[in-house]
Amino acid sequence: MTTPENPVSQPIDHLARRGAPDAAALLIGERVVTYAELDAGVGLLAAWLREQAGGPGERVASWSAKTRLACLMPLAAARAGLIHVPINPLLKGPQAQHILADSGAKLLLANAARAESLGDGRPAGCALHDLNIAEEAVDSGGKTLPPSKADPDDLAAILYTSGSTGRPKGVMLSHANLWLGAESVATYLKLMPVDRVLGVLPLSFDYGQNQLLSSWYAGAAVAPLDYLTARDVVKAVARHDITTLAGVPPLWVQLVEADWPADTAALLKRLTNSGGALTPSLIEAMRRTFPAADIYPMYGLTEAFRSTWLDPKFVADHPTSMGRAIPHAEILVCRGDGTITADEEPGELVHCGPLVAKGYWRDAARTAERFRPAPPASLYGGTAVWSGDRVRRDANGLLYFVGRDDAMIKTAGNRVSPTEIEEAAVASGLVYEAVAFGVPDARLGAAIILIVRGTHGPADEEGLAAWLRRNLPNFMQPQVIEWRDALPRNPNGKLDRVAIAADWTRVMAA
């Protein structure tokens, strides 16, 4: 069990000064941004953002690929006393509209195509600026802001994550949450100033954003990459002499199947995984492909950033373990009454300590469900995140995932709300009812199945598929859409999701 600490955090924008001034901080294509240039850019962008968005506490959103601007935004918004709301570039207009409206963003930075996809759905109080205008502000040499003096408990970001029901909800993260998360990861990964981290994950994803923050905490360099194929990743590792790569299981499947020159594969010293469990066979394939790299399986949830990591020395003998608590986290396995389970007894994973987020933005009801008083056994006390995930602890203190208490679909490293898919299908006007669920898939982790009852039946299948492609991101697209004349219901008159999923599985197995 973790001993309570009083960790010291700083305003998150101070990360721009962690490295040597002339050391590389950011590798954008062929451009090298030093720490001195990073700090200067953060100050210039912060001054411009404050002029555009107004006073402290206002929300500013960015919807962008991994440009220099996107990488500066988490620090610049914080330096300006603003709250950053990154939007996943894979999302479509309807999801972005919801995030802008829910967060009350005063400003959105996006390119013309993304802005156009919002149509008339951009909230009236949200100003829009093209990304190029903000980039020009960074290069202007105009007004600048010095490092902030924010309180560690001040909000710095709202990251939107899917819930088991309804639309994405905003997780409120403080300066302390982000700073201590960066320190924790940099510590257990043993990142050094000589390291180069390839950032392939979305910066709107806590795991993806931490690729920047933990690298800068260590004084290392990070190379953001928007990739289309595994070959793009191979080339980037070689071009930037990458030592550290973070991924999710579907990406690792692609990478171990790619053609890796031996000298390129040997550059990698650390491989980290979250967003789904690695299978023993995939771990073995990673070992064969990257013989010089340590493998770090990890488990996390946006509400508490990261919870556990498995030391590479245990991976061979315990390949299915989630490991133990990361620095600054206390992880308890609890029964329904809050008491601690015995070894090997399944229970709910409860995360305590200073990495626990501040709750859900403007959503007291859902905050009360997930953020509750820590169990009596906690050494930290205060508020804990009751994850809804069931795990067990072995006699050595290693944790193992058992299952989820909710209906979330974990696909391609993303947590997907079945309700969001169902609502999009019904909004097409082509179906009366819809049920979405996940089934095991070797490449995706889970494939999305959508069962619908519609107005004209299968004749509308092409139209429904086209509608979903326009209104949902690629990772939310169903792999299979099936039409039914009727859907079973439970005694309360609600759709019987368990029966529907079980029936589909039975038919497929027949």
Task: Dig out the tokens for 95 from the structure.
Answer: 């999801």
Judged on CB neighbours under 10 Å (0-12, 13-18, 19+), 379 is middle
Residue 475 per-residue DSSP state: G
Mean pLDDT (whole number) for 274-279: 84
Last residue of a domain, one of 109, 128, 150: 150
Task: Dig out the tokens for 498 from the structure.
Answer: 């368990």
3-state secondary structure of 109: strand
Kindly give, in sequence order, each residue whose CB lies less than 8 Å from that of residue 44, ignoring residues fewer than 6 positions away: 137, 138, 139, 140, 141, 142, 143, 144
Task: Dig out the tokens for 364 from the structure.
Answer: 């007291």
Separation CA 160–CA 91 (nearest Å): 11
Element (H, E) at 284: helix 280-289
Q: Which pairs count as long-range contacts for 461-467, CB under 8 Å and 24+ apart, including other chains? A: 463/428, 463/430, 464/425, 464/428, 464/430, 464/431, 467/424, 467/425, 467/427, 467/428, 467/430
Last residue of a domain, one of 129, 150, 171: 150
Are the C-beta atoms of residues 282 and 308 closer than 8 Å to each other? no
Residue 117 clears pLDDT 50, i.e. is over it: yes
Let me know if residue 467 belongs to a domain: yes
Mean pLDDT (whole number) for 435-463: 89
Task: Dig out the tokens for 52 from the structure.
Answer: 């555009």
Confidence class for position 163, pLDDT limits 50, 70, 90: low
Let me know if residue 9 belongs to a domain: no
Let me know if residue 492 belongs to a domain: yes
Q: CA 70 from chain center: how many Å?
A: 15
Beta strands 445-454; 431-441: pairing state = antiparallel
Among 120, 114, 5, 23, smallest CA distance to 70 is for 114
Confidence class for position 249, pLDDT limits 50, 70, 90: confident
Let me know if residue 268 belongs to a domain: no
Let me know if residue 497 belongs to a domain: yes
CATH number, domain containing residue 47: 3.40.50.980
Task: Please report the pLDDT score of residue 458 as a whole number.
Answer: 81
Residue 31 clears pLDDT 80, i.e. is over it: yes
In the block, tokens 């990458």 appear at 242
Task: Please report the pLDDT score of residue 1 as a whole number.
Answer: 47
Last residue of a domain, one of 115, 150, 185: 150
Are the C-beta atoms of residues 201 and 89 closer than 8 Å to each other? no
Let me know if residue 144 belongs to a domain: yes
Let me know if residue 189 belongs to a domain: no
Total of domains in the chain: 2
> At CA 360, angle to CA 358 and CA 362, rounded to 5?
110
Let me know if residue 367 belongs to a domain: no
Q: Considering the chain, what percentage of its residues have pLDDT values greater than 70?
A: 97
Task: Dig out the tokens for 105 from the structure.
Answer: 């963003």
Beta strands 270-273; 294-299: pairing state = parallel
CATH number, domain containing residue 437: 3.30.300.30
Element (H, E) at 41: helix 35-53
Among 301, 353, 350, 345, smallest CA distance to 327 is for 353
Mean pLDDT (whole number) for 313-323: 95
Range with the poorest average pLDDT among 326-330, 354-358, 360-364, 454-458: 454-458
Confidence class for position 162, pLDDT limits 50, 70, 90: low
Rg of the chain in Å (alpha carbons): 23
Task: Please report the pLDDT score of residue 493 as a whole number.
Answer: 63
Are the C-beta atoms of residues 426 and 173 closer than 8 Å to each other? no
Tell me the pLDDT tens digit for each residue of 377-419.
Answer: 999 999 999 999 999 999 999 999 887 766 778 888 888 888 8
Residue 266 clears pLDDT 90, i.e. is over it: yes
Are the C-beta atoms of residues 274 and 248 closer than 8 Å to each other? yes
Residue 165 clears pLDDT 60, i.e. is over it: no
- Which residues constitute the domain of residue 420? 409-509
Mean pLDDT (whole number) for 147-164: 90
Does residue 14 or residue 403 have the better pLDDT? 14
Q: What is the mean pLDDT of the chain?
A: 93
Tell me the pLDDT tens digit for each residue of 193-208.
Answer: 999 999 999 999 999 9
3-state secondary structure of 246: strand
